């Protein structure tokens, strides 16, 4: 294996530091996300790429050859996120475009809040790539459990998101008898449990309530209003529809499950196998920009790097080894070189 320049890891550290700790804090939209895009634009120029920002705020660094083959990911993060989620895919893309002198490196806006940038790009439908590759950490334990560094993604999970609101009646916490209350937060809490049970009832489905807001928010006031978020996911359209029906909500955002392109998957698998490694295939339970591009008909594929620490992600504990990252960048670069030739 050739060594990966330490600049990959230095760049990941620079991005990680942008929003202030603990963890990565580059939500969309924010000055921290803007700062990450500005830094990546500088790296793109250093790599000899011609930098553009599209109407959606996505950042593109074009090389002189086969610029319609895009490689990249996102630079926004969840609150208190990890070093690798999204950032690795952008840093690796710049590396691959520089090493091959081909393709374009892309950083999409707002992946964590619904793939804002890639979705807007696909809706606009202008200047779309001929193919898209995304390198990403697995964010789960499958590769680590199998003892292999890299995996090829078969398909990306579908997900439905929404907000639910519960109305009650504010009152005094000390003087209102329990049977006389209309407590919005209690209604929301019951819904949280129903959501969990609905997902448990469907094979491989998951559902999460990650946000809750209570009004008026006094410790001695019965809540009059509560808002919760729902993030519901399933590996195929039938199970996603079943889950949405079982929970009983109207999705505000619906992303269909997206199979990855077979030809590109085969190229990734060949490059992995040619390095004497097993080419494991696995589905992605996380959403990705590659899923949005694939749904828009653009041949897309993803390479996963083994996650350590039990596969934890969306957490500062997210970890992949330098060796695995180096190998992943090599494979990504080799596949980019092959697509750029074709």
Q: Which residues bind ligand GLV (CB under 6 A)?
A: 112, 286-287
Identity of the residue, 32 or 185, whose beta carbon is nearer to ligand GLV in the bound complex: 32
Answer yes or no: are the C-beta atoms of 115 and 295 closer than 8 Å.
Answer: no
Measured distance CA(187)–CA(192) in Å, rounded: 9
CA nearest to 107, candidates 181, 190, 160, 33: 33
Closest CB 130 distance from ligand GLV, rounded Å:
25
Closest CB 286 distance from ligand GLV, rounded Å:
4
The CA-based angle 108-113-118, given to 5 degrees, is: 30
Identity of the residue, 85 or 183, whose beta carbon is nearer to Mn ion in the bound complex: 85
Residue 301's CB is within 10 A of a number of other CB atoms, namely: 25
Partner from ligand GLV, Mn ion, none contacting 33, C-beta within 5 to 8 A by type? none
Closest CB 86 distance from Mn ion, rounded Å:
4
Identity of the residue, 99 or 314, whose beta carbon is nearer to ligand GLV in the bound complex: 314
Identity of the residue, 18 or 67, whose beta carbon is nearer to Mn ion in the bound complex: 18
Closest CB 137 distance from Mn ion, rounded Å:
8
Identity of the residue, 85 or 271, whose beta carbon is nearer to Mn ion in the bound complex: 85
Closest CB 137 distance from ligand GLV, rounded Å:
10
Closest CB 333 distance from Mn ion, rounded Å:
20
Identity of the residue, 112 or 271, whose beta carbon is nearer to ligand GLV in the bound complex: 112
Measured distance CA(208)–CA(143) in Å, rounded: 24
Measured distance CA(189)–CA(123) in Å, rounded: 37
Burial class (CB in 10 A: 0-12, 13-18, 19+), 217: exposed
Partner from ligand GLV, Mn ion, none contacting 95, C-beta within 5 to 8 A by type? none
Answer yes or no: are the C-beta atoms of 153 and 284 closer than 8 Å.
Answer: yes
Partner from Mn ion, ligand GLV, none contacting 287, C-beta within 5 to 8 A by type? ligand GLV
Measured distance CA(305)–CA(327) in Å, rounded: 9
Identity of the residue, 24 or 326, whose beta carbon is nearer to Mn ion in the bound complex: 24
SS percent in the chain: helix, strand, coil, step 5:
40, 25, 35
Closest CB 206 distance from ligand GLV, rounded Å:
10
Partner from Mn ion, ligand GLV, none contacting 305, C-beta within 5 to 8 A by type? none
CA nearest to 209, candidates 191, 223, 224, 225: 191
Closest CB 253 distance from ligand GLV, rounded Å:
11
> Applying CB under 5 A, which residues contact Mn ion?
85-86
Residues 6+ away with beta carbon under 8 Å from 316: 21, 22, 23, 24, 80, 81, 82, 83
CA nearest to 4, candidates 303, 338, 327, 336: 327
Identity of the residue, 86 or 103, whose beta carbon is nearer to Mn ion in the bound complex: 86
Cα 189 to its chain centre, rounded Å, is: 28
Measured distance CA(193)–CA(207) in Å, rounded: 10
Partner from ligand GLV, Mn ion, none contacting 82, C-beta within 5 to 8 A by type? none
């Amino acid at each position: 294996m050739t060594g990966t320049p330490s600049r990959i890891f230095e760049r990941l550290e620079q991005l990680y530091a942008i929003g202030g700790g603990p963890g990565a804090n580059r939500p969309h939209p924010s000055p921290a996300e803007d700062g990450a895009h500005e830094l990546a634009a500088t790296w793109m120029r250093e790599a000899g790429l011609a930098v553009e920002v599209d109407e959606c705020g996505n950042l593109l660094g074009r090389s002189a050859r086969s610029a319609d083959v895009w490689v990249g990911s996102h630079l926004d993060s969840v609150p208190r996120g990890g070093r690798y989620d999204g950032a690795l895919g952008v840093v690796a893309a710049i590396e691959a475009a520089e090493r091959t002198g081909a393709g374009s490196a892309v950083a999409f806006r707002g992946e964590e809040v619904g793939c804002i940038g890639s979705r807007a790009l696909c809706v606009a439908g202008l200047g779309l790539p001929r193919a898209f590759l995304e390198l990403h950490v697995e964010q789960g334990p499958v590769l680590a459990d199998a003892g292999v560094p890299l995996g090829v993604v078969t398909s990306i999970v579908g997900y439905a998101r929404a907000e639910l609101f519960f109305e009650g009646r504010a009152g005094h916490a000390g003087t209102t008898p329990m049977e006389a209350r209309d407590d919005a937060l209690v209604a929301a809490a019951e819904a949280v449990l129903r959501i969990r049970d609905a997902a448990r009832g469907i094979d491989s489905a998951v559902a999460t309530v990650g946000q809750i807001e209570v009004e008026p928010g006094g410790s001695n006031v019965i809540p009059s209003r509560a808002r919760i978020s729902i993030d519901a996911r399933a590996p195929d359209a039938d199970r996603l529809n079943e889950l949405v029906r079982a929970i009983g909500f109207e999705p505000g955002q619906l992303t269909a499950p997206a199979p990855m392109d077979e030809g590109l998957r085969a190229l990734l698998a060949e490059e992995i196998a040619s390095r004497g490694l097993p080419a494991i295939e696995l589905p992605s339970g996380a959403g990705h920009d590659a899923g949005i591009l694939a749904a828009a008909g653009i041949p897309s594929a993803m390479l996963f790097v083994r996650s350590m620490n039990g596969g934890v992600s969306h957490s500062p504990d997210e970890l992949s080894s330098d060796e695995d990252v180096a190998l992943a960048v090599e494979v990504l670069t080799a596949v980019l070189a092959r697509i750029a030739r074709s």
